[in-house]
Amino acid sequence: MTRDELLAKIQTQLKPARFAHVQRVEATAVRLAAKYGVDQEKASIAGLVHDYAKQRPDQDFIDAIKANQLDPDLLNWNNAIWHGVVGPVFIKAELHIYDEEILDAVRYHTTGNRFMTPLAQIIYMADYIEPGRDFDGVEQARLLTDQDLALAVAYQTKHTLAYLIANNQPVYPKTLATYNAWVPQSQ
Ligand code: GDP
Ligand code: FE
Ligand code: FE
Ligand code: FE
């Protein structure tokens, strides 16, 4: 599939604002890949597909979790977690992308993971700092991402966990595992 064909398929799944976001994540990820010596084509594809499943109905995820015998605890969560963790089911079936490093970058883009390849770290950060993002701390996140990828992953992980707790949100266990793997080490 060419990049244009991939873009056209993604566009059918996403509203215009979300489609614009994934293109900004792609551009940011490709820039970071060049900087950190990561495969730029993988960064491009992972950036474009990371939110592929974001706008699907809940029932699609519930069916996919059951049909693929994924962790049944996933049924206790929602789209925020599903679109990353379960997204690769749809990316494989509909986009025919099977590269496990790309699929892991999608799986981990929301919650992070104890182990993330440089590509997964880049997608995690590109999603957080793409030029359309505007929140307290985004400028610090952008500076850190250009200086030290691991410190940037720790920064995002710490701030996301603090945000969830401040807002009485449930913390997905993998989000907490990411915190334990990345944040204490970053001192
Ligand atoms: P987006 O898809 O580009 O909007 O960004 P993400 O995929 O990174 O995040 C989707 C949503 O998941 C955001 O609102 C995050 O705050 C939220 N999120 C991340 N980790 C957790 C978690 O552990 N629990 C819950 N409830 N939400 C989370
Ligand atoms: Fe996402
Ligand atoms: Fe994110
Ligand atoms: Fe995103």
Tell me how far apart the alpha carbons of residues 157 and 164 are, in angstroms, rounded to a whole number. 11
pLDDT, residue 186, reads 86
pLDDT, residue 187, reads 77
pLDDT, residue 54, reads 98
130 lines ligand 1 (CB under 6 A): no
**What ipTM, to 2 d.p.?**
0.97
164 lines ligand 1 (CB under 6 A): yes
For ligand 1, atom 16, the nearest C-alpha belongs to 160
Residues of the chain under the 50 pLDDT cut: none
Domain 3-186: assigned CATH number? 1.10.3210.10
Element (H, E) at 57: none
For ligand 1, atom 26, the nearest C-alpha belongs to 170
**Tokens standing for 166?**
């401040």
51 lines ligand 1 (CB under 6 A): yes
For ligand 1, atom 17, the nearest C-alpha belongs to 80
Q: Collect all residues with Cβ–Cβ distance below 8 Å to 79 and sequence separation of at least 6.
A: 54, 58, 61
Q: Could you tell me which of 136, 64, 62 has the C-alpha nearest to residue 93?
A: 64
- 3-state DSSP call for residue 71? coil
pLDDT, residue 12, reads 98
DSSP alpha helix (H) spans, 15-137: 16-36, 40-49, 58-67, 79-85, 87-90, 100-107, 118-129
- CA 64 to ligand 1 center in whole angstroms: 20
Select from 15, 110, 156, 159 the residue to mutate for testing ligand 1; criterion: most ligand atoms less than 8 Å from CB: 110
